[in-house]
């Protein structure tokens, strides 16, 4: 776990102090919680967290985009402060994303950015609703070749069986990134760790549904990637244990030369925790290019 009480830099404190709304929209019988920053009427930008995470993984980043966008970050079904489902599916996750976009009032076609598991959700939303989107950005979400050697992958699921801890502080001390990696920004880890817990009978536990992956299976992600008709960009950690050069080359081959691939230096899988401002700069640049150019693929 990160060191508790580490002093955060000014940029971080200023970002999390930016006012936002907390909203809930019911999608297919499940309450979906999301946060909303910025002015109505601007183009929409939706941020989608990874497995076992929640909307507050984006709280210190979202305000950097409000000059040009109204920004939402949701808790996926089964995560954060959203409801749980009896079963999960690609179509339901996509409906959650589009339901938040509609409830937030995103009138023009929004852009969606998804990290890790959230990138796969975003990818499938692009397949199903690409004609309604400006484009999608996949953030360290590896689509692997059919013959990928899994023995070389340091992959561990974030959906571990949950424990209950007697106190909030004991639980916070147990917060870890999954898949495991080092991260020097203790102030970020403490912030997201504090927002990852909920009180239950007998103490404190994590907010995510640890049975989610027993109730859900992804389809063929290569087929999904190849069938995209909307704009797409890829950002990944240059030192990511999950997003190797082999995987980057494979995804580039499945897509085409018009798709930008941006590697963040000195960053592992959780790249915007490692290098948050570099990530902001990369995403701002991609989105600015989308605002001022015509797409080469799809619409």
pLDDT, tens digit, for every residue of 4-40?
A: 778 999 999 999 999 999 999 999 999 999 999 999 9
**Cα–Cα distance for residue pair 193/236, rounded to 1 Å:** 23
Question: From the CA atom positions of the chain, what is the Rg in Å?
Answer: 18
For the domain made up of 20-149+221-292, the CATH class stated in words is alpha beta
Q: Look at residue 212 in the predicted model and tell me its pLDDT.
A: 87
pTM, rounded to two decimals: 0.94
Compute the mean pLDDT over every residue in the chain, rounded to the nearest whole number. 92
Q: Look at residue 34 in the predicted model and tell me its pLDDT.
A: 98
List residues bridging with 37 in a β-sheet: 71
Extract the tokens encoding 174. Answer: 């147990």
**Residue closest to 260 by CA, chosen among 113, 116, 138:** 138
**Residue closest to 244 by CA, chosen among 113, 155, 117:** 155
**In the chain, what are the domain boundaries?**
20-149+221-292
Q: Concatenate the DSSP letters of all residues of the chain into one string.
A: -PPTTPPPPHHHHHHHTS--EEEEEEETTEEEEEEEES-TTSPEEEEE--TT--GGGSTTTGGGGTTT-EEEEE--TTSTTS---SS--HHHHHHHHHHHHHHHT--SPPEEEEETHHHHHHHHHHHHHGGG-SEEEEES-----TT--GGG-----S-PPP--BSSHHHHHHT---SS----S-HHHHHHHHHTTEEEETTEEEESS-TTGGGS-----HHHHHHH--S-EEEEEETT-SSS-HHHHHHHHHHS-TTS-EEEETT--SSHHHHSHHHHHHHHHHHHHHHHHS--SS--
Q: Extract the residue ranges of the chain whose pLDDT is less than 50.
A: 150-152, 298-299
Sorted by sequence, the CB contacts under 8 Å of residue 297 that are 6+ apart come out as 228, 229, 231, 232, 256, 258, 259
pLDDT digits (tens, 9 = 90+) for 97-145: 999 999 999 988 999 999 999 999 999 999 999 999 999 999 999 998 8
Q: Look at residue 124 in the predicted model and tell me its pLDDT.
A: 96
């Amino acid at each position: 776990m990160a060191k508790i009480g580490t002093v955060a830099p000014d940029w971080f404190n200023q970002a999390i102090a930016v006012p936002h709304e907390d909203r809930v929209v019911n999608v297919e019988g499940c309450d979906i919680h999301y946060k909303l920053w910025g002015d109505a009427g601007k183009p929409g930008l939706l941020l989608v967290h990874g497995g076992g995470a929640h909307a507050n993984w984006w709280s210190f980043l979202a305000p950097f985009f409000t000059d040009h966008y109204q920004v939402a970050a949701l808790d996926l079904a089964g995560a954060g402060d959203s409801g749980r489902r009896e079963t999960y599916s690609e179509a339901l996750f996509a409906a959650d994303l589009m339901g938040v976009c509609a409830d937030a009032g995103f009138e023009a076609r929004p852009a969606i950015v998804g990290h890790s598991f959230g990138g796969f959700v975003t990818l499938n939303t692009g397949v199903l609703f690409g004609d309604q989107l400006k484009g999608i950005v996949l953030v360290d979400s590896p689509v692997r070749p059919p013959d990928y050697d899994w023995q070389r992958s340091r992959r561990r699921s974030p959906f571990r069986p949950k424990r209950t801890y007697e106190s909030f502080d004991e639980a916070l001390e147990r917060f870890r990134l999954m898949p495991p990696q080092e991260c020097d920004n203790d102030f970020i880890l403490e912030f997201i760790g504090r927002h990852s817990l909920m009180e239950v009978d007998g103490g404190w536990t994590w907010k995510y549904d640890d049975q989610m992956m027993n109730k859900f299976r992804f389809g063929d992600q290569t087929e999904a990637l190849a069938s995209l008709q909307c704009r797409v960009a890829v950002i990944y950690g240059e030192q990511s244990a999950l997003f190797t050069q082999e995987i980057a080359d494979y995804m580039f081959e499945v897509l085409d030369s018009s798709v930008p691939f941006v590697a963040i230096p000195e960053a592992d899988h959780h790249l915007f925790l490692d290098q948050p401002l570099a990530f902001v700069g990369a995403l701002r640049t991609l989105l600015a290019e989308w605002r001022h150019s015509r797409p080469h693929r799809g619409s």
